[in-house]
A and B are shown apart, each in its own frame.
Chain A
């Protein structure tokens, strides 16, 4: 599985990097390719390129806030999940998203 995504929280200090790291770590454990961009206080960190976005099976947004540059992900299935859920159970989130995407197709 190829997954890209964005994490963002109100202050952009703690939850944002924590969610990104948790998801990327869970991806490694599942042997998936997971890349999460952090839209925190400093603006985008580890930005997702257009090529990476094009190669992704789905897009995971760990936030219920405004995410910038969403046009990169046009045409891809986009799934929003609460940021705290992504920190607590990153592996289960990734698996459930993948299952949902498979069902859609």
Chain B
């Protein structure tokens, strides 16, 4: 059981790693024309759908970005399938992901379709037939069975329960973000997840959930994660500027300064070197992320256009003070607390190697 779950986690993370460039590219190509339009006082580009000229051009570019955002389920379904079942699974995964979009099954549907396509393809490889039939199996039978299983299981059998689940989940999140107390709670959980492993599976799970609601048009969860994502590296950058230089090794001081760039563009991974140096900082990151996102929710952070990450997110937020306030709370917390609980000087250079016993290293021999 543990092995299967580990395999699912690996496959879903592979799917997410292929989805990242799609969704970021899409969001930027939606966002940039929208921002240019806003500079001229046009918040809604769709009214230029049938006109000509400069704003129509912005509208055209903007709609291409929306295509990218609409492909998120397709990409994640396809590459989950690919991770499990290789090339023969990819097509069925793509179809299953799009099916999830069409039948409004959400990301749960896309993940389910990807897993089914992947396992069926893997099982198909085991079919043994006389050699002359091999090409028929590869060319006809495998595509039929993989796509057919997706159609049967996701398209027919699982559509009612998955649609119900997705619908319930979406309305629940909508309800959560409308009410202040619940919004703060949700934000705190998502912010904590972002801080927990800085770009690892828990972080990417929270980020993924934010983005899946993003494609449903609910932007708050994404904003909550964006606050923590931007603020955690910003916190380490701020730390390296406000504390005396002698508290840091030359390397970490440099990394702290670099985190200014990491934070600006929303890359939590920038904070990893600090966490590697002192594992207790995980707690600081978790609390900081939770505080920042919760503060943002408390201040009522909102967006009516697709939010951008990092500092550019200021431009797309309706309530700039709430977005900045959240970032400031988290960044200040980390900048002040981190040096109090961790030693960033050169004294013991690699604490990791000793603190790890041989039994903690799990080998998976294949």
Interface residues of A (CB under 8 A from B): 8-15, 18, 41, 63-66, 77-82, 84-85, 87-93, 96-97, 100, 104
Given A10-B200, A11-B204, A15-B200: A85 touches B362 (CB 8 Å cut-off): yes
B1-30: CB near A (< 8 Å → 1, else 0) gives 000001101110110110011000000000
Other A-B pairs, 14, CB within 8 Å; known A14-B267, A79-B366, A90-B353? A13-B267, A13-B269, A41-B21, A64-B6, A65-B10, A65-B14, A66-B10, A79-B364, A80-B366, A81-B362, A84-B200, A85-B360, A87-B352, A97-B363
Report yes or no: A81 in contact with B361, Cβ–Cβ below 8 A. Answer: yes
**From residue A89, how far is it (CB to closest CB) to chain B in Å?**
4
Interface centre among B270, B276, B352, by most chain A C-beta atoms within 10 angstroms, is B352
- In the complex, the 5 A-B pairs of residues with the closest C-beta atoms, listed nearest first: A14-B269, A66-B83, A64-B10, A88-B352, A66-B14
Are A80 and B364 touching (Cβ within 8 A)? yes
Asked if B77 lies at the interface with its beta carbon under 8 angstroms from chain A, I say: no
Q: Let me know if B272 and A15 touch, CB within 8 A.
A: yes
Contact call B362/A65, Cβ cutoff below 8 A: no
A-B contact pairs, 30 of them (CB 8 A): A9-B17, A10-B13, A10-B14, A10-B16, A10-B17, A10-B200, A10-B204, A11-B17, A13-B199, A14-B199, A18-B272, A65-B10, A65-B13, A66-B79, A66-B83, A77-B365, A78-B366, A79-B366, A80-B366, A81-B361, A81-B362, A85-B356, A85-B361, A88-B353, A89-B353, A89-B360, A91-B353, A96-B358, A96-B363, A100-B363
B323 at interface, CB cutoff 8 A? no
Asked if B20 and A92 make an inter-chain contact with CB atoms under 8 angstroms apart, the answer reads no
Q: Is B37 an interface residue (CB 8 A)?
A: no
> Which residues from chain B contact A81 at a C-beta distance below 8 Å?
361-364
CB pair B365–A64 under 8 Å, yes or no, is no
Which secondary structure dominates where chain A touches chain B?
A: mixed
Q: Within 8 Å CB of A64, what residues of B?
A: 6-7, 9-10, 13
Does B13 contact A93, Cβ atoms closer than 8 Å?
no
**In this assembly, does B201 line the interface, its C-beta being within 8 Å of a C-beta of chain A?**
yes
Instruction: Specify the chain B residue showing the minimal Cβ separation from A93.
Output: B361
In the complex formed, the residue of B with least CB distance to A95 is B358
Which chain B positions have C-beta within 8 A of A96? Answer: 358, 361, 363
Residues of B within 8 A of A85 (CB): 356, 360-362
Which residues does chain A contribute within 8 Å of B11, judged by CB atoms? Answer: 65-66
Q: A10-B13, A66-B10 in contact; A100/B360 too (CB < 8 A)?
A: no
Given the interface pairs A89-B353, A92-B361, the reply to whether A66 lies near B82 with Cβ below 8 Å is yes
Smallest distance from the beta carbon of A83 to chain B beta carbons, Å? Answer: 8
Contacts of A14 in B (CB 8 A): 198-199, 267, 269-270, 272
Given contacts A11-B269, A12-B17, A80-B364, A89 and B356 within 8 Å (CB-CB) = yes
Please provide the chain B residues from 76 to 103 with a CB less than 8 Å away from any CB of chain A in the complex.
Answer: 79, 82-83
Q: Which residue of B lies closest to A59 (CB)?
A: B366
Query: Does A10 contact B199, Cβ atoms closer than 8 Å?
Result: yes
Give Cα distance in the complex from A80 to B353, angstroms. 19
Give the CA-CA distance A15 to B267 in the complex, in Å: 12
Shortest A71–chain B CB gap in Å is 10
Chain B residues with CB under 8 Å of A92's CB are 353, 356, 358, 361
